[in-house]
Amino acid sequence: MRTVAIPIEEEILFTLKIDIPKLQTDFMQILAMQYFKERRLGLGLAARLADMTKNDFVSFLSRYGIDIYQYSDEELESEFALVDEIAGALQ
């Protein structure tokens, strides 16, 4: 594991009214959320980056309105076509 140092002014910490451990936790959770949104990390790795269980990370994402099912338009079209195909075969 590697450690990353990020400089931050005391005034910012004072204004935020948080200590270094809280800042580190917030930073990792927000970074994990962003990387998940950008599809750079999957759910499991993003949860690990945030130091959360998958269930906790899913709850965290939902508080920010982020859907864990990130389908592109093409993927959705493909899924709906498959559903239509299966429905047709069942009739």
Q: Where along the chain do its domains lie?
A: 19-90
Distance CA(31)–CA(46), nearest Å, equals 9
* pTM score: 0.75
What do you get for the CA distance between the two ends of the chain, in Å?
Answer: 55
Question: In tens digits, what is the pLDDT along the chain, a chain of 91 residues?
Answer: 899 899 999 999 999 999 999 999 999 999 999 999 999 999 999 999 999 999 999 999 999 999 888 777 888 888 888 998 898 888 8
Say if residues 16 and 23 touch (Cβ distance below 8 Å): yes
